[in-house]
Structure 1
């Protein structure tokens, strides 16, 4: 589930920088961003919205960058909850800055779509999670109705699944591996990021919402093989009243940082959406870093990200075939009208407190 601040079913409000911000990020205008927009073709899987960015850095210098993302079509079933996900697509780049969409085998151009079996957990929509080797970790929404106000919507109940690369541009053997639970993730479990800590220590970071306060919380599950998972509970909770993340903590990106781990996460409140930081020594026990966001929507009224920022994914200065002078934060921005696109911010010398839009 994405882009719903404070309460689970509340629409966007205008997002502005929190008065609690400790960040030194630069609010300059973007010159390259946005780097990926919804398709102009109505029948395309991503003609209405894009979201859920995951970036694969080339393993060697000169290789291709790959961006996995999900999208929603203008021709999507109106009974399916109107979020940014629906099907999954792929884009490629030579430099990480300029991107070209790749057309998948589906008629809509997607590389991965909901199953046609209406009884399955992923029959209403699918959303991007993470890529690990030949595995695509994703989340799917079912066709079980869920009441939203005076309407009944499909795709709200979401669970986490995995599919396997066929080697020919497709994915098969999809299966549900973490259904929604009975606690903080009773409504849905979504946006999995799977990290293989060691041969028999796989970790899944995801977020969910419960039936009581409907606030988003980040949870952890662990596995010995990446297929059978055990919940470990909540690891990042909403902030106190007045905090930028008082309404919930949702999409996040976890990456190694020195002797520990850093998490960039999306926080929401009545004021909107912004990114915060959390730190961990072992990747299991987490503490929030600082008392405010490190990145917030642009103050420029006509900016592509004037209304909200979402779905962070960070590429460090030196990883794989990328040896850069700055880290790169990929994210989804919403403009004043609510239109979504993908942008990039640079982290000077890899410092996440010194972010500026590219």
Structure 2
């Protein structure tokens, strides 16, 4: 990160008592166009991508706080970076998956940083006078180092066709890997990291064009938290990973496995190059788990922050309530976005036999721009471990939450579908216009544990009817009079059904 970015962040940290949210000024990147040159095999120019990161911890090499090596190996000393090919078309490793109902983002290509698993989509939309831009941060891991996860960025002009990168970013216009696990032995995020929320904020004493991206994320360490409850039929794991055939990175025979996780904060001026911000906990996390006997004493995961007003930020997160035997969501509150006070559990497991009997995880809360109410979309856990997606509503976003319905808003697809094993990690985006339309991005798991990111669209004003997006990709051929080249652009023309 350059000196200007670092100075802006330092200024924000010292003058952030009156935070405000700001409209982002996105880098003016355009959707990638493939020059066919009268050939049927479009290709991209190879770009060598390197990653630089800052750390606020004293005596840390700021230029090398995150290893550029895509293998994400903590003990590796290699400084060689593989070349990557940013692309806006999806992985071709599964010929049917590109056009599967609902699937809009597939696994990366072989040897890419996200070739084994993807998930945790955090999707943001921005409209300006002359363009529409979508950003999606997500977690991924590769087959080379399946025990470690990283965070990446993809961009889109319509929220359906995404540009991605197989390697680490270098400039403010690149896409791909943007953040690796910490290499500091004392840190809380040495094993895996997953994005929770992106908030663009500044203070009244910092100019708006110096706005900073605040990334709240889950960090996992290698510390195991042993827990065994034979009454549970589901396998309790943290991080919750798909059961990928041949992947034993999260298996302990005869036991459920929990890696201790805590909430973290990082900041950036371009959404790509991140500086970790040290929290009050000795590991650098924002805060610790609860004391013995408290509902969140095992781990803290999926921190998602909503800006309610000046001096009032709310964080929603999930843990496992061992005493009651279910996953649950709690809330914490902050004035400055860095020091938090827990307010307790706000939503737990459903009734016996319900689709969320064993609780809810990965909450995402959105404030309705039309009526000011709060919507929580979450991943539901049934008694047999099946995952689906449900909704709850609240008038103030605090403790008065009520489930929208007693059935899932989105369930796994039928047999042989790309998400036939389960759906979860939802992210809700409210669209502009007279119609009350919402987009629901989510992680889907299919046969063999193959993961992808899907899209469902609301039908009508009620949040109990989401249908998976389907559509066709048209080829628009444009003749370049100057160079006599033909360009190929993918255009959204589909509808949901």
TM-score (normalizing by structure 2) = 0.60
- For the 8 Å contact 1:334–1:341, the answer to whether it is kept is yes
- Deviation of 1:259 after TM superposition, in Å, equals 3.7
Is residue 305 of structure 1 aligned with residue 419 of structure 2?
Answer: yes
Is residue 291 of structure 1 aligned with residue 406 of structure 2?
Answer: yes
- 1:105 alignment partner, one of 153, 156, 169: 169
Evaluate the alpha carbon distance shift between residue 174 and residue 47 of structure 1 in structure 2; reply closer, same or farther with a 3 A threshold.
farther
CA distance in 2, matches of 1:161, 1:151: 31
Is residue 49 of structure 1 aligned with residue 129 of structure 2?
Answer: no
CA distance in 1, matches of 2:181, 2:256: 16
Evaluate the alpha carbon distance shift between residue 230 and residue 52 of structure 1 in structure 2; reply closer, same or farther with a 3 A threshold.
same
140-149 or 128-137: bigger deviation: 140-149
Is residue 178 of structure 1 aligned with residue 242 of structure 2?
Answer: no
SS at match of 2:106: coil
Map 1:325-344 to 2 at 5 A: 326-344=437-455
Deviations 1:313-351 (A, max 9, x none): 111231xxx888842111111113221100101112453
Map 1:52-71 to 2 at 5 A: 52-60=120-128, 62-71=131-140
- For the 8 Å contact 2:113–2:142, the answer to whether it is kept is yes
CA distance in 1, matches of 2:309, 2:288: 24
- Deviation of 1:228 after TM superposition, in Å, equals 0.1
- For the 8 Å contact 1:114–1:123, the answer to whether it is kept is yes
- Give the equivalent residue in structure 2 for 1:246: 357
SS at match of 1:186: coil
- Give the equivalent residue in structure 1 for 2:343: 232
Deviations 1:84-133 (A, max 9, x none): xx110111111111111145338x95201110012210111111111011
- Give the equivalent residue in structure 2 for 1:263: 376
- For the 8 Å contact 1:297–1:307, the answer to whether it is kept is yes
- Deviation of 1:40 after TM superposition, in Å, equals 2.1
- Deviation of 1:260 after TM superposition, in Å, equals 1.4
162-171 or 244-253: bigger deviation: 162-171
CA distance in 2, matches of 1:31, 1:186: 40
Gaps of 5+ in 1: 1-29, 81-85
Q: Which structure is higher in helix share? A: 2
Evaluate the alpha carbon distance shift between residue 325 and residue 278 of structure 1 in structure 2; reply closer, same or farther with a 3 A threshold.
closer
CA distance in 1, matches of 2:396, 2:429: 20
Evaluate the alpha carbon distance shift between residue 343 and residue 76 of structure 1 in structure 2; reply closer, same or farther with a 3 A threshold.
same
- For the 8 Å contact 2:102–2:455, the answer to whether it is kept is yes
- For the 8 Å contact 1:137–1:193, the answer to whether it is kept is yes
CA distance in 2, matches of 1:245, 1:168: 34
What is the aligned-residue RMSD (CA, Å)?
2.5
Deviations 1:210-243 (A, max 9, x none): 4445521101000001000001111111112101
- Give the equivalent residue in structure 1 for 2:185: 118
- 2:141 alignment partner, one of 72, 90, 102: 72
- For the 8 Å contact 1:119–1:142, the answer to whether it is kept is no
Q: Which has the larger radius of gyration?
A: 2
Is residue 40 of structure 1 aligned with residue 104 of structure 2?
Answer: no
SS at match of 1:64: strand
SS at match of 2:300: strand
- Give the equivalent residue in structure 2 for 1:141: 220
- For the 8 Å contact 2:325–2:358, the answer to whether it is kept is no
- Give the equivalent residue in structure 1 for 2:151: 88
CA distance in 2, matches of 1:323, 1:129: 29
- 2:197 alignment partner, one of 130, 134, 150: 130
SS at match of 1:246: coil
- May I ask how many residue pairs the two structures share in their alignment? 317
- Deviation of 1:32 after TM superposition, in Å, equals 5.7
- Give the equivalent residue in structure 2 for 1:83: none
144-153 or 31-40: bigger deviation: 144-153
TM-score (normalizing by structure 1) = 0.82
SS at match of 1:337: helix
Q: Which structure is higher in strand share? A: 1
CA distance in 2, matches of 1:142, 1:155: 10
